[in-house]
């Protein structure tokens, strides 16, 4: 019997419209949003850019090579009594290869910091994915709710229209007064205004849905209860502390800050590099003027004093690491709070649904009684109008409570960290940021960027 009233009203409304619109499930809406939402696609592109920070850090393990070519041409005159003018040309080519041997531990620290930042970025991508999917769920449920509320208001307006006609008939035969007619007219005008407001709200929610999904909504229905919900608050909290992406991001960010200390500390340590050069020089003014050279240099640089700037940077990095650690602790508390709130809101919504069902049953009985009493003159027209309004209000509140229950279910999934395409088992190829990361991590050369895939998805969802 769950959601009986709301679903019955919705089905009746869809049949009454006669549009023949194809039924669209929540899973289909989530799939469309996952494949085509520009915000999510843009965030994936940003993540691929962050992945490149690791090969940039690893580059310090690799040598650098350069080729230098120079050419000269000059005119010379002797200062003797018999001046001789000569034209001399020369060319020089040099190949230089440099290999860093030791950078004070900065290469290792930079690599570990970049890896931690990549993991933090993946967690943030999951947060964005959850946000987009959660907003899609909310937009979907809002359209369903407002359609059901609109149908209730249309039905109420029709009932009040018939009530007004019956009231006017009774006024003509002298059973009631002009005051009763005015009350019925006022209540009908109020119902009309409420219906117009519901139509505007529905169109607004349809626009939000189209922004997120990329297409106007069809015939939407309330989805079933999710089978992936935690069975207890303790289970939900434990799951969130291990899978919530916001907490993961905070932890990896703190880890990156700790590696940042080692990166800055490396500036206080010696550096060692090996440099090799091969050179050749040609002087075309003479046939035997070619010369070649080769040399290998071992360079050791020991910092003695750097104006105190390096020590200031080191202290700064330690303070930053402390800040990130505290932010991680705060994220843990926030996650626990979010899970608790989502759980309690869900339980409250379920309890409200039972209360509204009881209210509807009582309001239906009361309305029938007031109508019978009105026929014998013991109740006024206003009493009947009030009883009808109470029943309509109770039905609207039930629709809203069922909407709130479903919304809180997905809010709980989001707080736990299960509001992803993989966890929801959407019929899509799940985007894996690690695939691009492993493709570029050890790439020595190449400038092509993987941007076409998501662009094609955006054009052809």
Residue 176: beta bridge partners?
none
Looking at residue 378, its pLDDT comes to 78
Q: Tell me whether residue 257 is in a domain.
A: yes
Looking at residue 415, its pLDDT comes to 94
Quickly state the pLDDT bin for 81 (edges 50, 70, 90).
low
What residue spans of 297-451 are helical by DSSP H?
309-375, 381-416, 433-440
With a pLDDT cut of 90, the percent of the chain lying above it is: 63
Quickly state the pLDDT bin for 76 (edges 50, 70, 90).
low
Look at residue 5 and tell me whether its pLDDT is greater than 50: no
Higher pLDDT: 456 or 241? It is 241
Looking at residue 20, its pLDDT comes to 41
Q: Tell me whether residue 171 is in a domain.
A: yes
For range 405-418, the mean pLDDT: 93
With a pLDDT cut of 70, the percent of the chain lying above it is: 86
- In which element (H, E) is residue 167 found? helix 106-172
69 sits in the region (left: phi over 0; alpha: psi -120 to 50; else beta) called beta
Q: Which two tokens stand for residue 60?
A: 């310090």
Looking at residue 88, its pLDDT comes to 62
Quickly state the pLDDT bin for 281 (edges 50, 70, 90).
confident
Q: Tell me whether residue 117 is in a domain.
A: yes
**Rg (alpha carbons) of the chain, rounded to whole number:** 37
Look at residue 284 and tell me whether its pLDDT is greater than 80: no
Quickly state the pLDDT bin for 17 (edges 50, 70, 90).
very low
For range 193-219, the mean pLDDT: 92
Looking at residue 170, its pLDDT comes to 83
Quickly state the pLDDT bin for 371 (edges 50, 70, 90).
confident
Q: What is the mean pLDDT of the chain?
A: 86
Looking at residue 4, its pLDDT comes to 36
Q: Which two tokens stand for residue 217?
A: 């909504």
156-160, 284-288, 456-460 — which is least confidently predicted? 456-460
Quickly state the pLDDT bin for 262 (edges 50, 70, 90).
very high
Q: Tally helices (H) and strands (E) across the chain.
A: 12, 6
Smallest Cα–Cα separation from 203: which of 190, 222, 219, 216?
216
For the chain, how many structural domains are there in total?
Answer: 1
Looking at residue 8, its pLDDT comes to 39
What residue spans of 283-308 are helical by DSSP H?
none
pTM confidence score: 0.81
Look at residue 461 and tell me whether its pLDDT is greater than 70: no
Domain that holds residue 159: 4-73+89-459
CA distance 45 to 31: 19
Q: Tell me whether residue 390 is in a domain.
A: yes
Q: Tell me whether residue 321 is in a domain.
A: yes
Smallest Cα–Cα separation from 369: which of 388, 356, 394, 354?
388
CATH number (domain holding residue 326): 1.20.1600.10
Looking at residue 412, its pLDDT comes to 95
Higher pLDDT: 221 or 71? It is 221
Q: Which two tokens stand for residue 449?
A: 């960027």
For range 119-146, the mean pLDDT: 95
For range 433-444, the mean pLDDT: 90
Q: Tell me whether residue 346 is in a domain.
A: yes
For range 302-310, the mean pLDDT: 90
Q: Which two tokens stand for residue 122?
A: 């993946």
Looking at residue 12, its pLDDT comes to 40
* Phi, psi dihedral angles at 80 (to 5 degrees): -80, 175
Q: Which two tokens stand for residue 51?
A: 């992945």
Q: Tell me whether residue 79 is in a domain.
A: no
Quickly state the pLDDT bin for 86 (edges 50, 70, 90).
low
Question: What b/e string do you get for 151-179 counting C-beta neighbours within 10 Å, with b at 16 or more?
Answer: bbbbbbbeebeebbeebeebbeeeebeee
Q: Measure the CA angle with vertex 419, ends 38 and 14; round to 5°.
A: 75
Q: 214 and 37 in contact (C-beta within 8 Å)? A: yes
- In which element (H, E) is residue 51 found? helix 38-51
CA distance 241 to 286: 79
Q: Tell me whether residue 413 is in a domain.
A: yes
For range 418-447, the mean pLDDT: 90
21-25, 236-240, 426-430 — which is least confidently predicted? 21-25
CA distance 196 to 418: 38
CA distance 367 to 393: 13
């Amino acid at each position: 019997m769950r959601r009986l009233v709301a679903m019955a009203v919705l089905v009746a409304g869809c049949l009454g419209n006669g549009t023949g619109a194809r039924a669209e499930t929540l899973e289909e809406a989530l799939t469309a949003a996952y494949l085509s939402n520009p915000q999510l696609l843009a965030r994936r592109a940003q993540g691929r850019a962050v992945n490149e920070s690791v090969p940039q850090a690893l580059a310090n393990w690799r040598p650098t090579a350069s080729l230098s070519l120079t050419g000269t041409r000059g005119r010379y005159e002797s200062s003797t009594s018999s001046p001789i003018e000569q034209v001399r040309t020369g060319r020089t080519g040099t190949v230089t290869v440099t290999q860093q041997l030791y950078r004070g531990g900065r290469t290792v620290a930079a690599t570990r910091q970049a890896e931690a930042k990549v993991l933090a970025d993946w967690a943030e991508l999951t947060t964005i994915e959850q946000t987009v999917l959660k907003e899609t769920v909310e937009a979907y449920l809002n359209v369903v709710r407002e359609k059901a509320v609109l149908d209730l208001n249309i039905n109420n307006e029709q009932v009040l229209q018939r009530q007004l006609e019956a009231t006017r008939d009774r006024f003509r035969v002298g059973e009631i007064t002009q005051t009763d007619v005015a009350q019925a007219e006022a209540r009908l005008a109020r119902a009309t205004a409420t219906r117009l407001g519901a139509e505007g709200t529905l169109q607004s929610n349809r626009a939000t849905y189209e922004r997120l999904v990329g297409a106007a909504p069809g015939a939407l229905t309330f989805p079933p209860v999710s089978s992936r919900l935690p069975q207890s608050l303790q289970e939900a909290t434990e799951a969130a502390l291990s899978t919530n992406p916001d907490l993961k991001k905070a932890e990896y960010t703190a880890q990156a800050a700790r590696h940042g200390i080692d990166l800055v500390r490396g500036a206080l340590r010696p550096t060692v590099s090996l440099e090799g050069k091969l050179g050749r020089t040609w002087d075309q003014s003479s046939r035997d003027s070619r010369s070649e050279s080769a040399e290998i240099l071992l360079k050791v640089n020991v910092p003695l004093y750097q104006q105190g700037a390096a020590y200031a940077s080191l202290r700064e990095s330690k303070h930053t690491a402390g800040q990130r650690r505290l932010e991680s602790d705060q994220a843990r508390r926030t996650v626990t709070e979010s899970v608790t709130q989502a759980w309690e809101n869900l339980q409250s919504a379920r309890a409200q649904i039972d209360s509204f069902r009881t209210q509807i049953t009582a309001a239906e009985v009361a309305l029938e009684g007031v109508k019978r009493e009105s026929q014998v003159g013991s109740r006024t027209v206003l009493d009947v109008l009030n009883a009808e309004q109470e029943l309509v209000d109770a039905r609207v509140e039930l629709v809203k409570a069922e909407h709130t229950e479903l919304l809180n279910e997905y809010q709980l999934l989001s707080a736990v960290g299960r509001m992803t395409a993989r966890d929801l088992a959407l019929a899509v190829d799940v985007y894996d940021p690690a695939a691009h990361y492993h493709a570029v991590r050890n790439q020595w050369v190449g400038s092509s960027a993987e941007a076409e895939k998501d662009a094609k998805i955006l054009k052809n969802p």
